[in-house]
Amino acid sequence: MKILIIGATGTIGKAVAELLSEKHDIISAGYSDGDVKVDLGNAESIKAMFEQVGEVGAVISTAGLANFAPLAQHSNQDFELALNNKLMGQINLLRIGQEYVTQNGSITLTSGILSRQPMPGSASISMVNGALESFVKAAALELDQLRLNVVAPAFVKETMLMMGMDPSSGISATNTAKVYKIAVNGNMHGETLDVINYL
Ligand SMILES: NC(=O)c1ccc[n+]([C@@H]2O[C@H](COP(=O)([O-])OP(=O)(O)OC[C@H]3O[C@@H](n4cnc5c(N)ncnc54)[C@H](OP(=O)(O)O)[C@@H]3O)[C@@H](O)[C@H]2O)c1
């Protein structure tokens, strides 16, 4: 099956692409790198990506930008980035991409554990993660030609290392990728797959 991965060059996306390439043809999409270039924050760019790629069996998004910042310093731009890129960008992947997914295929989006376990500085990230999980639950009620789910990663070890943090409480990108594989191969629809529940 052909699988389009948006964010395939990133920390999580690279591991997802590697795991799924064992059995599937991967088309990687990224902002500055990949088989196809796309700007998740721009619906026209998403349309152009799907026109270029054509029909696929599954779409996975491991992309979505949002900033950490203390609430008092959260700017309009911080909220706009989270809403336009991580939230509406991924919602637009479903709205535009559903025409390009084969019957009984799937679309898997990415939220994050901060929807249910927030921390200081995570206001806009938590906001869009929660919205994505609610959107998927509701939208699935009206989608019978494909399955729609969202994976909620925990803090990834490699990301923690990049941020100079102790990675011992994190989950590796390789283990996180296994949950995307479950979303593609399983029967779930409208669900949030919380990575911490799949270890
Ligand atoms: N890493 C974690 O600990 C963690 C935990 C929970 C949730 N998450 C969520 O998981 C997702 C992926 O995280 P990550 O750490 O793997 O990210 P990452 O390493 O920063 O990779 C981001 C990927 O998205 C692409 N991208 C960036 N801007 C884009 C745009 N405007 N349009 C399309 N693609 C764009 C990048 O492409 P280029 O390289 O070409 O720019 C890259 O492939 C994010 O939604 C993040 O919030 C991550």
Give per-residue pLDDT as tens, 105-164. Answer: 999 999 999 999 999 999 999 999 999 999 999 999 999 999 999 999 999 999 999 999
Across the range 92-99, mean pLDDT stands at 98
Cβ of 112 closer than 6 Å to ligand 1, yes or no, is: yes
Say if residues 104 and 58 touch (Cβ distance below 8 Å).
Answer: no
Establish whether residue 171 lines the binding site of ligand 1, counting it when its CB lies within 6 angstroms of any ligand atom: no
57 CA distance to ligand 1 middle (Å): 22
User: Cα–Cα distance between 199 and 103 in angstroms, integer?
Assistant: 30
In which band, very low, low, confident or very high, does the pLDDT at 199 lie, cut at 50, 70 and 90? confident
Distance of CA 82 to the CA centre of its chain: 13
Provide the 3-class DSSP secondary structure of residue 103: strand
Residue 112 alpha carbon to ligand 1 centre in Å: 12
Q: What is the largest CA-CA distance in the chain?
A: 47
Least Cα distance to 20 among 9, 36, 7, 4 occurs for 4
pLDDT of residue 53: 98
Q: Is 159 in the pocket of ligand 1 (CB under 6 A)?
A: yes
Domains of the chain and CATH, by start? 2-198 (3.40.50.720)
Question: What's this model's pTM, rounded to 2 decimal places?
Answer: 0.98
Q: How far is CA 140 from the centre of its chain?
A: 16
pLDDT of amino acid 51: 98
Ligand 1 atom 43, closest CA: 7
What confidence tier does 6 reach under pLDDT thresholds 50, 70, 90? very high
**Residue 151 DSSP SS3:** strand
**Cα 143 from Cα 97, distance rounded (Å):** 13
99 CB within 6 A, ligand 1: no
How many angstroms separate the CA atoms of 189 and 186, rounded?
A: 9
pLDDT digits (tens, 9 = 90+) for 15-57: 999 999 999 999 999 999 999 999 999 999 999 999 999 999 9
Residue owning the nearest CA to atom 7 of ligand 1: 112
